Amino acid sequence: MSVDAATVKRVAHLARIKIDDDRSAVMAEELSKILGWVEMLGEVNTDGVEPLAAVIPNTLRWREDVVTDGGIQDKVLSNAPKAEYGFFAVPKVIE
Amino acid sequence: MAVLTDLTLGQMRDGLRAKDFSAKDLAEAHVKAVEAARVLNAFTVETPELALKAAEVADAALAKGEAKPLSGIPLGIKDLFATEGVQSAAASNILKGFKPPYESTVSGKLLADGAGMLGKLNMDEFAMGSSNETSAFGTVINPWRGKGNESLVPGGSSGGSSAAVAARLVAGATGTDTGGSIRQPAAFTGISGIKPTYGRCSRWGIVAFASSLDQAGPMARDVRDCAILLKSMCGFDPKDSTSLDLPVPDFEAALTGDMKGKRVGIPKEYTVDGIPTEIEALWKKGADMLRDAGAEIVDISLPHTKYALPTYYIIAPAEASSNLARYDGVRFGLRETPENGSLIDMYEATRSAGFGSEVQRRILIGTYVLSAGYYDAYYLKAQKVRALIQRDFMQAFERCDVILAPTAPSAAFGIGANVDDPIAMYLNDVFCVPASLAGLPAMSVPGGLSDDGLPLGLQIIGRPLDEEGVLNAGYAIEQAAGFTARPEAWW
Amino acid sequence: MTDYRIKGETGEWEVVIGLEVHAQVTSNAKLFSGAATEFGAEPNTQVSLVDAAMPGMLPVINGECVKQAVRTGLALEAQINMWSRFDRKNYFYADLPQGYQISQFQHPIVGEGEVHIDLGEGRSKTVGLERIHLEQDAGKSMHDQSPCYSYVDLNRSGVALMEIVSRPDMRSPEEAGAYVKKLRSILRYVGSCDGNMEEGSMRADVNVSVRKPGDPFGTRCEVKNVNSVRFVQAAIEYEAQRQVEIIEAGGTIVQETRLFDPSRMETRSLRSKEDAHDYRYFPDPDLPPLVFDEAFVEALRAELPELPDAKHARYVRDLGISDYNASVLTAEKEAADWFERMLALSAAKQGKPLTEVARAASNWVISDLFGALNALGKDIIDSPISPEHAATLLALIGDGTLSGRLGKDVFQIMLETGDDPEKIVEERGLKQVSDTGALDAAIAEVLATNADKVAQYKAGKEALFGFFVGQTMKATGGKANPKVVNELLKAALAG
């Protein structure tokens, strides 16, 4: 699969990473190489093979429905770049 | 008295109990060693006060005869582990300054067992790398040097851990292994390291890279030290849904070195093109050592081996692209806000400035392979091939008890040697990745030296949950190899 | 009954409606963390480190949320999937801390089922369910609290939701409204969601398209987060009309997400979400598959309460209650519970079988009680009259202690005071006098005072009987039991 700079830009936007034109061209080349390499998996016959769900067979354990956490607003906000009045603050969103 | 930092962790433990020296002596010696070795850049944060405080507690406990398994043992903790109140940045700019209000389960268990923390160990950013050259805190220098004294990489991603252990700065260290990040750096620095079965060690509080692959494990001077640390590190954790609810064996008790009745598999597919003859020779020597210890050597086949790396480089980036979405500048870590920028501008600027280029590369690959129209061809296909790789191992384990392979296709390479070619860099993990994909326990032990006098590692892969078998085979090799070489302290 | 049609310039259009209802699962703790789910707490106080997506935090599922989803599935006659799995839905938003929502995309916990809706006048319809899955709620962003910032509160982040997805089986706003009401009723019966639409415990994404009857489905628009039955219906009406107008003007419908504006009762395009969505779903590697067995499901089935459809049928069949009364009484679990408790007490107090008192009791509840509560603007759970007191009142009327008229007076006092009717009767001396001793004395007095009229009566002027009754009632202050007075008078005059 050959990836062009426009695709890199689209993917970068999906991943919320700003990428300038020069860089996206370089990245396109790198990603094309890597994707071309991983495409060797196409050689493998996987008909009827179930995709791996859990590497070591395991199922979900359930927790009890009891409140054991919370009430730690200070800890939750302690590393926030910007917090006001108990809220996280982010650039204003216009709906 | 011997230099305290030269002792193995096991010797330190015994010496403390015999009152040959105090925990304070031990901590101070290591604090000094850490300070003297800053040129290696093995630490992102030094916490001598924590190590000394733990030593004080340990000495009191030792005096009362109430020592815990690791009382007074000074350790280094990889920066991927959240440590309460101490910067835990996963060696990334995006988390610089992040001080978690919580302690990871694994580091917490080590501290609860009496260990002290000397500091946080450098690593590849978000554990993405095989040379410790992607760290936002700078490259770690391998204490071993090349023939012409050139600087070498310590392997990655647990490069700070491997360098610190090899340079005798810490008694042992935590590592994490997603596709070889414990084993390959252990091999590059002449130390031992084990990645246990997926689910043995809790992932709670460890910054996630690829959740279905990440496993913590110890890195230490020898196999016994690994066994001692592993016992403290693993165990069921109800906070991790993938943690296995099983009792923890006494790994140290399994170290007999006796391989009688054991069959050791040699996978023919691990003979890859371009592998140096010295690696092949070492592999063969390793088989001989195990045979001498009583094992039967059998040829086995792992037919899908060559697809392991491409499978890994779809699954790991896919999971990483999602795991790293939380670094968005909202709740913690770096925030970059362009003037009059919107929320989306903030995200893009923050993540662009906060993530290094290898991390960005993997996020983009991961985002691409999960995106509409490509999921089936890449991600789903990779999960199917992964199932086949796992099946290969299960079939092989019908014929053998453990598998012997090289750890890495080369000895430690020079700094900068592979930075321009991602795929060449990825190939470093060619022997490590298959066991990771299958969730199997695997360890690296030093097997000998390369022609250039650099350490080379041998890898033992075991059945799910058979860490004891893996450690014992490693121990047998260690006994036979008599590996005593160590880097000269040039720093 | 005529089908709902939009009359356009080119003819009649049919509306096709499917609903995705997000119902907050009733649980103490969140879906994957131990933080509380209560509504209205101080910002970021019901947030664990997991909910804030701190580095290295991991989800562990709350078993009660699993049970609630299974109970709901059973109540909706749906297939229960013993093996299901959680996926990550990846997108960035300030109130989505992980950068992904944990949801169930490929393998939901509940599969196909159905909901029977009652459209009145004997009309009914079955709406197909496609699936129910468990997922995390997001936090809350507030954009109007500060001039420079949007504020983020993560208290709701990670609260369990059930997304209940219908088939596009509805054809009118009325049907959609009836569907939401019925769904709400069933969830409240089961106890898996409190159905509180004002607090956002239930909200609907409404998918609307239009077509000429008989044509294939048209392109649909999704109206997000509609939070009342009335708004659901208004959104459909507006959206259907809008789409018809666009198509008839030669335009085409663009598949998009729209927002319902309750202040203008119209929908508008959600510009802030214009980015093409590519959610990159994949199985969450932090969560192994969710697996349970038949015995687990059967145990939950055995614990299920009687559901509205079954209850309705039983009221009609076994209790002889009218179809209409049964519908009204079973629509809300609280009303049905209230009625059944009152009915049982009522039958016991009167010493009669349920079937003999049920019809009258149902009439009283619907006409007297519901009418009065309606006037007071109160729900049944806030009723000042308890089932016990109501049963007593009906017994007092039934055994003749209270006349019908006095019964109404006592009922009014009960509404105002919440008092026991026996106490009211006692204190205010409203008791109907049936005591023959007391009445004999009163009658003797009346007859003695009116000896002349007695003579005339005995001589054949029988019309005077009414006069004696009236005099006796007057003498007892209106509290005498007229039936007893009649009997006693007849006996006395015959003597």
Mind listing the pLDDT tens digit for each residue in C389-446?
Answer: 999 999 888 877 787 778 888 999 999 999 999 888 888 777 766 677 778 888 888 9
Is B157 known to be catalytic?
A: yes
B450 CB neighbour count, 10 Å cutoff: 16
User: What pLDDT score was predicted for residue C275?
Assistant: 56
Q: Where residue B274 falls among pLDDT bands split at 50, 70, 90?
A: confident
Q: Helices (DSSP H) in B324-466: which residue ranges?
A: 343-354, 357-370, 381-396, 422-426, 433-437
What whole-number distance in Å separates Cα of residue B348 and Cα of residue B335?
10
Give the span between the Cα atoms of B429 and B180, in whole angstroms. 6
Residues of C in contact with B102 (CB under 8 A): 49, 54
Q: Does C146 touch chain A (CB under 8 A)?
A: yes
Give the torsion sign (CA, A19, A24, A28, A34). negative
Our count of domains for chain B comes to: 1
Nearest to A87 among C44, C148, C283 (CB): C44
* Both tokens assigned to B7: 């002792």
Q: Would you tell me which residues 5-34 of chain A have a C-beta closer than 8 angstroms to some C-beta of chain B? A: 7-8, 11-19, 27, 30-31, 33-34
Neighbouring C-alpha atoms within 13 Å toward the C-beta of C364: 24
Q: Check if A89 contacts C (Cβ < 8 Å).
A: yes
**Rounded average pLDDT over C59-77:** 98
C97 at B interface, C-beta within 8 A = yes
SS3 for C245-278 is: HHHHCCCCCCCCEEEEECCCCEEEECHHHCCCCC
Closest CA to B377 of B438, B318, B429: B318
Q: Sheet with C282-283: list strands edge to edge.
A: C100-103, C87-90, C282-283
Instruction: Provide the pLDDT for residue B232.
Output: 98
Instruction: Report the share of chain C in percent with pLDDT over 70.
Output: 97
> Could B388 and A17 be called an inter-chain contact, meaning their C-beta atoms sit closer than 8 Å?
no
Give yes or no for B328 touching C (CB within 8 A): yes
Q: b/e map of C243-252 (b: 16 or more CB within 10 Å)?
A: bbeebeeeee
List the single residue in C with minimal CA-CA distance to A86: C43
Complete DSSP assignment for C298-327: HHHHHHPPPPHHHHHHHHHHHH---HHHHH
What per-residue confidence (pLDDT) applies to C274? Answer: 47
Per-residue pLDDT, averaged over A69-87, amounts to 97
Q: Which residue has the tokens 């699969």?
A: A1
- The beta strands (E) that lie in B221-335 are given as 263-267, 296-300
pLDDT band at C462 (very low <50, low <70, confident <90, very high): confident
CB within 8 Å of C63: residues ≥ 6 apart: A62, A63, A64, A65
Q: Are B160 and B78 in contact (CB under 8 A)?
A: yes
The pair phi, psi for residue B298, each rounded to 5°, is: -125, 145
The H-assigned helical ranges of C164-228 are 173-190
> Among B171-175, C117-121, C427-431, which stretch is predicted with the lowest mean pLDDT?
C427-431
Chain A nearest-CA distance from C287, in A, is 7
pLDDT tens per residue across span C215-236 = 999 999 999 999 999 999 999 9
Residue among C53, C152, C280 minimizing CB distance to B326: C53
- Closest CA of chain C from B328, distance in Å: 8
Q: Which pLDDT score is estimated for C276?
A: 62
In a domain, B30, yes or no: yes
- Domain boundaries, position B96: 4-256
Collect all residues with Cβ–Cβ distance below 8 Å to C26 and sequence separation of at least 6.
C68, C191, C192, C193, C194
The answer to whether residue C95 scores a pLDDT higher than 60 is: yes
Q: In whole angstroms, give the CA distance from residue B181 to residue B207.
A: 14
Instruction: Count Cβ atoms below 10 Å from residue B333 Cβ, excluding itself.
Output: 24
Give the pLDDT confidence score for residue C213 in this predicted structure.
94
| Whether residue B1 has pLDDT greater than 70 | no
When the pLDDT of each residue in chain C is averaged and rounded to a whole number, the result is 92
pLDDT of residue B342: 93
Give yes or no for A59 touching B (CB within 8 A): no
Tell me the mean pLDDT in the region C77-89: 97
Neighbours of chain C (3+ CB pairs under 8 A): A, B
Question: CA of A31, closest CA in chain C: separation in Å?
Answer: 18
Percent of chain B with pLDDT over 90: 96
pLDDT in tens, B442-474: 999 999 999 999 999 999 999 999 999 999 999
Let me know if residue B417 belongs to a domain.
Answer: no
Percentage helix, strand, coil, to 5, in chain B? 40, 15, 45
| pLDDT the model gives residue B396 | 98
Nearest alpha-carbon partner for B198 in B220, B217, B213, B210: B213
ipTM of the complex: 0.96
Interface size between A and C, measured as CB pairs under 8 A? 138
| Chain B residue at shortest CA distance from C287 | B241
For residues B178 and B80, give the distance between their C-alpha atoms in angstroms, rounded to a whole number: 12
**Looking at residues C325-339, what average pLDDT do you find?**
93
CB contact under 8 A, A68 and C34: yes
Buried b (16+ CB within 10 A) or exposed e, B291-309: eebebeeeebebbbbebbb
Rg over CA atoms, chain B? 21
Least confident range from A18-27, C99-108, C164-173: namely: A18-27
CATH number at residue B49: 3.90.1300.10
Task: Assess whether pLDDT exceeds 80 at residue C43.
Answer: yes
Of B157, B161, B162, B436, which one is the catalytic site residue? B157
Pick B315 or C403 by higher pLDDT: B315
Structural domains in chain A plus CATH codes: 5-42 (1.10.20)
Contact B208 C61 (CB under 8 A): no
Let me know if residue B370 belongs to a domain: no
Active-site residue, from B71, B88, B181, B436: B181
Q: What is the mean pLDDT of chain B?
A: 97
Encoded amino acid at B205, one letter? G
Q: State the pLDDT at residue A47.
A: 96
CA–CA distance, B165 with B73 (Å, rounded to integer): 13
Neighbours of chain A (3+ CB pairs under 8 A): B, C
Q: Note the pLDDT of residue C486.
A: 85
Q: Is B275 inside any structural domain?
A: no
Q: In a 3-state reduction of DSSP, which class is residue B417?
A: coil
- Determine the residue among A1, A30, A34 to mutate to test chain B binding: the one whose Cβ has the most chain B Cβ atoms within 10 Å: A34
Q: Which of A11, A52, A82, A95 to mutate to test the interface with C (most CBs of C within 10 A)?
A: A95
Is residue B161 flagged as an active site residue? no
Residues in Cβ contact with C400 at an 8 Å cutoff, skipping those fewer than 6 apart? C432, C434, C481, C483
Which pLDDT band holds residue B249 (cuts at 50, 70, 90)? very high
pLDDT confidence of residue C483: 79
Q: In the numeric block, which tokens belong to residue B136?
A: 């936002």
Residue C326: band (very low, low, confident or very high) from pLDDT cuts 50, 70, 90: very high
B78 is catalytic: yes
Bridge partners of C135, per DSSP, are: C161
CB contact at 8 A, B431 and B438: no
- Chains touching B (3+ CB pairs < 8 Å): A, C
B143 near B412, Cβ under 8 Å? no
Residue B206 CA: distances (Å) to CA of A70, B195, B256: 21, 15, 33
- Please say if the pLDDT value at position C492 is more than 90: no
Q: In this complex, do B99 and A78 lie within 8 Å of one another by their Cβ atoms?
A: yes
Yes or no, beta carbons of C56 and B238 under 8 Å apart: no
User: Domains in chain C, please, with CATH?
Assistant: 6-299 (no CATH), 306-428 (no CATH), 436-494 (1.10.10.410)
- Taking CB atoms and an 8 Å cutoff, what residues of chain C touch B343? 94, 150
Of A15, A17, A91, the CB nearest to B346: A91
- For residue A1, the model assigns a pLDDT of 64
* B86-96 mean pLDDT: 98
pLDDT for res C389: 95
- The whole-number pLDDT of residue B321 equals 98
CA nearest to A63, candidates C105, B208, C160: C160
The proportion of chain B whose per-residue pLDDT surpasses 70, expressed as a percent, equals: 100
Q: Does residue B157 have a cis bond before it (omega within 30 degrees)?
A: yes
Q: How far is A9 from chain B (nearest CA, A)?
A: 10
**In Å, how far is A43's CA from the nearest CA of chain B?**
9
